[in-house]
Structure 1
Amino acid sequence: MRIGSSIALIAIGAILAFALAPGIIPFLDQVLVGYILIGVGIIGLIISIAMSNRTRRTVVERRGDPHTVVERRPEV
């Protein structure tokens, strides 16, 4: 789940929970479904942000001989 889909779930959940009158969808507690979608969206947003910050960067340096490559990976 990416950031955009998490925000979409939060928006759809907020519409179901707060904007629609209760009872429009028969046999379904739309307020509860809205709260569930908001919760799932928030959890997905937190995970997406955490995963995007975990990317490791690699620095590649070329020294002297064009066929020699020195690769450094910074410690996290």
Structure 2
Amino acid sequence: MGYGFGGFLVVVGLVLALAVTDTVQGIDLTMVGWIMTAVGVVLIAITAITWNSGRRARNVQTVTHPDGSQTVHENKTTNY
């Protein structure tokens, strides 16, 4: 879903929570707005975490032994 949908939820949620003064019987629009805002913020945070986890560098080294067998060593480094 990504940053766009999370940002959309934050904007619509804040509009409902802070700017809408109409009432709907049985529904608290202010609370719905705050819930949408919180979900949007969590979605943006999850997107940032998952997209940033793919930025790790890998170093793969293959060693060929005299008998013809191979050993593969993989090192992962984190770039911040």
> With structure 2 as the length reference, what TM-score do the two structures score?
0.67
After superposition, give the CA deviation of every residue in 1:46-68 in whole Å (9 maximum; x if it has no partner).
00011111114568xxxxxxxxx
The answer to whether 1:38 aligns with 2:45 is: no
Displacement after TM superposition at 1:10 (Å): 0.3
Other structure's SS at 2:5 match: helix
Other structure's SS at 2:77 match: coil
CA RMSD of the aligned region, Å? 2.0
Query: Percent of aligned positions with the same letter in both sequences?
Result: 25
Higher strand content, 1 or 2: 2
Structure 2 equivalent of residue 5 of structure 1: 5
Of residues 6-15 and 49-58 in structure 1, the stretch that sits farther from structure 2 once superposed is 49-58
- 8 Å contact kept, 1:22–1:31: no
Question: Mapping of 1:45-64 within 5 angstroms?
Answer: 45-55=44-54, 56-57=56-57
d(CA) in 2 for partners of 1:40 and 1:27?
22
After superposition, give the CA deviation of every residue in 1:17-75 in whole Å (9 maximum; x if it has no partner).
0011141x33210000000000000000000011111114568xxxxxxxxxxxx7643
Gaps of 5+ in 2: 60-73
d(CA) in 2 for partners of 1:5 and 1:58?
31
Instruction: Count residues with an aligned counterpart.
Output: 64
Gaps of 5+ in 1: 60-71
